[in-house]
Amino acid sequence: MPFSSLDTAAVARALSQVSDREDDWVDALFERIEEVELPPEGEAPGFRVRREEGLAVRLVRGREAWRASRDGVGSAIFADALRQIARSMPIATYPEPMLAMSPWGKAPEADEMAEFPLAVGRAVRARHAAFPLKMTMRRHRRWLQVVGPRLVPAAEREAFYSLAVEASWGRWGTLAVELGDGLAEQVAEVLVERFRARQAAAPTSGVTSVALGPGATAVLLHEAVAHALEADTLGASGKPAAALGVRLGPEGLDVLDDPARAPEGVRRATDDEGQAVLRRWLLRDGIVEQPLADATWSRAHEVLLPGAGRRASRHFAPAPRSSHLELAPGTTAEADVRRGGALYAAEASRGQLDPWSGRFVLELPCGRRGGPAGEPVGGFRLTGTVGDLLGKIAAVGDQPVAAGAGWCAKGGQKLPVWASSPSILLEGVEVRA
């Protein structure tokens, strides 16, 4: 950990100086980020490294908040940021804390990434397909340490890979905690499916039944459940606490957010505000139980529990967001769920929720008729309101798998999100070509 030589006790003492009212909330975030990128073959520069570190301090007093963020970590930098958020400072202050991060090590290498595009190419050819594609791979590492005047949680670390593919038929991307032949096979499967469906006709618009594979289901739940139940989304249109107890889905629909059960490498014990994460039942039996909340929303509404505060970096404010979404397994065999709809879609390219109207659009880049082995169809969209769409879940598969990992963009912040889900079957949903 780069924070082993950070004097967190001295930081906590310094923070306590600006927290001069009983209900003040003050904290500091120290952060180090490394991103190693391998561009598509033939692009210059050929190997890309971004290494950054910095800090942010924050004071929350009632309905007001002050934040200061800096690139770089050092005593003077911290003291300057602290002065900027302080409403008052004692005449005699503690000495500036000695802040030092362990130095960056030698230049990173990326041998494991260099092999991966070749493995994907082999797996594509093994499926008797060949097409040009540009693949950009990135290895992301982030270390963070939150310090409060009374609480200093353990430092956290995240490490994962992202993959972005550009081809003549469009773009596709995913996140993974490790590279290997298994992932290469999965990537090839998706790419070949998209390639073969590139000229397929879209299904006719109308009301029909649609089975969604785990990847598409994860995107649906991320947009229709997680975003809909973020305290800031609920707060913009009303009181977040009023959502508790509202039926949003059918009986038997259990959706959770549990950062502690995310894949090894991105698993978290505390959130980006240093609050302990929890196994949060967003929907239990289809009823809203506990929306996503960060410390600020939790302080304003005591029925909301903190632990879901996330920030893309020190330069952003924490906001309530999901980390690892889970759809609890149902009782129907996976194969029956996937074959149960007039249309089947394994992957979704994106979803979009209008928080004001509750209207929701899920974009599916391609699909098949009648199940995974059916005739390919071109891209289509599912539309409806959140309550309407979730109410049409007729079956949930019995085998959840890790799926649908990707980037979530909201409010200018881009965050990695993870999920575990079985397939679902939707009856009587509106499909648009």
Site string for another protein, 183-212 (x = CB under 8 A): ------------------------------
Residue 47 CA to residue 113 CA, distance in Å, equals 11
Closer Cβ to another protein, 240 or 404, answer by number? 240
Q: CA–CA distance from 420 to each of 139, 256, 384, 425 (Å)?
A: 22, 10, 24, 16
- Residue 105 within binding range of another protein, rule CB under 8 A: yes
Rounded Cα gap, residues 317 and 306, in angstroms? 15
315 binds another protein (CB under 8 A): yes
User: Which of 104, 115, 122, 252 is the binder for another protein (CB under 8 A)?
Assistant: 104
Half-sphere exposure of 372 (CA within 13 A, CB side): 13
Give dist(CA 417, CA 410) in Å, integer: 12
Applying CB under 8 A, does 357 fall inside the site for another protein? Answer: yes
Q: Give whichever of 285 and 354 is closer to another protein, judged by the CB atom.
A: 354
Give the x-and-dash track for 36-75 against another protein (CB under 8 A): --xx-xxxxxxxxxxxxxx--------xxxxxxxxxx---
Token readout for 200 is 């397929």
Q: Which is nearer to another protein, 41 or 181 (CB)?
A: 41
CA distance 47 to 37: 6
Q: How far apart are CB 358 and another protein at their closest, in Å?
A: 10
The site string for another protein over 72-91 (x = CB under 8 A, - otherwise) reads x--------x--x-------
20-39 residues near another protein, rule: CB under 8 A? 38-39
- Nearest approach, Cβ of residue 185 and another protein (Å): 26
Strands 324-327 and 413-421: parallel
Hey, which residues between 360 and 419 contact another protein (CB under 8 A)?
none
Residue 370: which residues within 8 A CB-CB, separation 6 or more? 339, 341, 342, 343, 344
**Is the distance from CB of 151 to CB of 274 less than 8 angstroms?**
yes
136 exposure class (CB count in 10 Å sphere: 0-12, 13-18, 19+): middle
Q: Name the minimum Å distance from CB 189 to another protein.
A: 27
Measured from the CB of residue 161, what is the shortest distance to another protein in angstroms?
17
Looking at 236, 246, 269, 303, which residue binds another protein (CB under 8 A)? 236
Cβ-based neighbour number of residue 405 at 10 Å: 23
The stretch near another protein (CB under 8 A) out of 230-238, 256-264, 277-285, 386-394 is 230-238
Per CB under 8 A, residues contacting another protein are: 38-39, 41-54, 63-72, 81, 84, 104-109, 232, 235-237, 296, 315, 317, 356-357
